[in-house]
């Protein structure tokens, strides 16, 4: 059996004796953008352009643009390029009375995709700030977003679908990008470039993301024209970082894109072909449940949930819901043994270690997996999301930008910051699969 995936399809069985069907025109897939912190779905549901993931398909007609010409103007808002809603342009304001306008022309060789907080038509993938923890309904809304309305754009090569480049900032409904007087910008010879207010950061993995042997790379910042620079002293500092010539803005399988409020994972079409599917992950859960793990105290059978925790008919915790003791990894059911009043810690009845407990839940978003097994499960601390060993260990080693200049590791399935060292625990079940 060969595992192939777009993040939603079932494994494909190769059958050489199956009848040959007439060829249908297949859509070319560039890749997927997946938001970290969502276990395969948004709480209100994936609707329209606001989803937990976005698939980039080759467009019927190209809509890419490329740099054409540039010139200096005294009143940028009254210039012809800005007023022409059919003309793509970037305005770099140098002073109150001077700006450089860079015009862009249609490029038949590329497809353009735009990401941002705005719900206006030019944005293909609408992204809002990610709130850490389990997502239930609309709770935990961010009062003031730090994600740009037109955050970034990706240009994919139509003739070579494996090449997709990312650039900071996106064109608005008038096909303009404005870098104000206070925005970080610079001139080198006849070229001009700049950075957005909070910046678009990139981290390419070192090694092949899918295979379980890659390591996190170094975070960099991408400019409006696609240049790569070291990070600024703080997220919105005026001084740009140094140019990094050996790194490009071409997305790799497993590249992370931080929008300052949400972090996206890029999965290439080739990488997804080698990744586990949702059905494959659900089968792993089914096999684990088929082993009939039991609670050593209540002696009742436990059932690993695929998404959210079970609740009983009275709304309370279901007796089949498994819990993990985060200091030792022993999996048990809900019971009161070893629980002290007014305390969040419990004593494990199997090894007597004292620590917190957490409900277990399967990480079911396939794009976050760096391997397909073997099914030795680990869980993130403190959220309790389960995944394969290499997947958990990889994400525990990834430091994600947080705030203006901080970094922290978190669970990719719910964005909960990891606690303790190493930030995860191996699960020990009382059954025949341990």
Sequence spans of domains, the chain: 29-273, 278-426
Distance CA 229, CA 206 (A): 18
Quick one: pLDDT band at residue 313, thresholds 50, 70, 90?
A: very low
| Of 96, 54, 52, residue with least CA distance to 76 | 96
For residues 161 and 269, the answer to whether their CB atoms sit within 8 Å is: yes
CA distances (Å), origin 103, targets 114, 167, 171, 174: 18, 16, 12, 13
Distance CA 369, CA 312 (A): 31
* Interior angle at CA 166, CA 248 and CA 216, nearest 5: 60
Distance CA 303, CA 323 (A): 10
Per-residue DSSP letter, 19: P
Quick one: pLDDT band at residue 135, thresholds 50, 70, 90?
A: low
pLDDT tens track for 292-307? 999 888 888 899 887 6
Across the range 150-156, mean pLDDT stands at: 98
| Of 240, 172, 159, residue with least CA distance to 200 | 240
Quick one: pLDDT band at residue 336, thresholds 50, 70, 90?
A: confident
Quick one: pLDDT band at residue 47, thresholds 50, 70, 90?
A: confident
pLDDT tens track for 341-361? 777 788 999 898 998 999 999
Predicted local confidence at residue 307, as pLDDT? 66
Residue 38 β-bridge partners: none
Distance CA 244, CA 177 (A): 24
The region of weakest confidence among 1-15, 197-211, 277-291, 418-432 is 1-15
Predicted local confidence at residue 334, as pLDDT? 84
pLDDT tens track for 357-385? 999 999 999 999 999 877 689 999 999 99
Across the range 103-108, mean pLDDT stands at: 96
Does 11 have pLDDT greater than 50? no
Predicted local confidence at residue 215, as pLDDT? 93
Residue 400 β-bridge partners: 408
Rg (CA), the chain: 24
Distance CA 200, CA 331 (A): 41
CA distances (Å), origin 56, targets 110, 122, 141, 178: 12, 15, 28, 26
Does 320 have pLDDT greater than 50? yes
DSSP code string of 391-425:
HHHHHHTPPEEETTTEEE-B-TTT-PBP-SSSSEE
Residue 64 β-bridge partners: 107
Residue position matching structure tokens 């777009």: 6
Q: In whole numbers, what is the pLDDT of the chain averaged over residues?
A: 86
**CB count in 10 Å sphere of residue 336:** 7
> Does residue 83 or residue 351 have the better pLDDT?
351
Distance CA 203, CA 218 (A): 6
Predicted local confidence at residue 309, as pLDDT? 46
Does 308 have pLDDT greater than 70? no
Predicted local confidence at residue 311, as pLDDT? 47
**81 membership: H or E segment, kind and range:** helix 80-83
Across the range 235-250, mean pLDDT stands at: 94
Distance CA 374, CA 78 (A): 62
Predicted local confidence at residue 430, as pLDDT? 84
The region of weakest confidence among 18-22, 235-239, 269-273, 284-288 is 18-22
Measured between alpha carbons, how far apart are the two ends of the chain, in Å?
25
Does 139 have pLDDT greater than 80? no
Distance CA 222, CA 227 (A): 6
Predicted local confidence at residue 6, as pLDDT? 36
Distance CA 419, CA 405 (A): 20
Per-residue DSSP letter, 75: -
Predicted local confidence at residue 144, as pLDDT? 82
């Amino acid at each position: 059996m060969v595992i192939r995936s777009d993040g939603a399809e079932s494994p494909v069985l190769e059958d050489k004796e199956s009848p040959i069907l007439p060829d249908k025109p297949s859509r070319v897939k560039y890749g997927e953008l997946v938001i970290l912190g969502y276990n395969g779905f948004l709480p209100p549901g994936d609707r329209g352009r606001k989803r937990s993931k976005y698939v980039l398909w080759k467009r019927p007609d190209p809509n890419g643009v490329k740099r054409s010409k540039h010139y200096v103007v005294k009143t940028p808002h009254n210039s012809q390029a800005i007023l022409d809603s059919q003309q793509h342009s970037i305005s770099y304001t140098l002073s109150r009375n001077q700006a450089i306008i860079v015009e862009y022309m249609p490029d038949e060789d590329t497809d353009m995709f735009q990401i941002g907080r705005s719900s206006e038509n030019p944005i293909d993938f609408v992204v809002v700030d990610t709130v850490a923890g389990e997502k239930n309904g609309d709770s935990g809304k961010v009062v003031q977003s730090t994600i740009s309305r037109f955050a970034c754009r990706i240009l994919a090569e139509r003739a070579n679908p494996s090449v997709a480049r990312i650039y900071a900032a996106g064109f608005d409904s008038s096909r303009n990008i404005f870098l104000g007087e206070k925005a970080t910008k610079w001139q080198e010879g006849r070229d001009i470039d700049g950075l957005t207010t909070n910046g678009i950061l990139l981290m390419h993995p070192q090694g092949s993301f899918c295979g379980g042997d890659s390591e996190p790379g170094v975070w960099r910042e991408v400019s409006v024209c696609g240049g790569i620079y070291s990070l600024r002293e703080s997220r919105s500092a005026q001084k740009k970082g140094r140019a990094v010539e050996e790194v490009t803005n071409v997305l790799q399988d497993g590249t992370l894109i931080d929008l300052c409020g949400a972090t996206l994972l890029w999965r290439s079409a080739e990488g997804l072909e080698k990744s586990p599917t949702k059905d494959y992950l659900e089968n792993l859960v089914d096999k684990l449940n088929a082993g009939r793990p039991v609670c050593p105290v209540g002696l009742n059978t436990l059932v690993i949930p695929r998404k959210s925790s079970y609740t009983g008919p009275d709304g309370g915790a279901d007796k089949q819901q498994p819990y993990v003791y985060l200091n030792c990894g022993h999996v048990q059911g809900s019971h009161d043994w070893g629980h002290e009043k007014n305390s969040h810690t419990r004593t494990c009845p199997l090894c007597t270690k004292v620590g917190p407990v957490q409900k277990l839940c399967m990480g079911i978003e396939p794009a976050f997996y760096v391997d397909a097994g073997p099914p030795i499960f680990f869980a993130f601390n403190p959220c309790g999301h389960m995944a394969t060993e290499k997947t958990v260990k990889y994400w525990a080693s990834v430091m994600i930008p947080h705030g203006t200049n901080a970094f922290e590791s978190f669970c990719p399935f719910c964005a909960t910051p990891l606690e303790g060292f190493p930030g995860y625990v191996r699960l020990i079940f009382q059954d025949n699969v341990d």
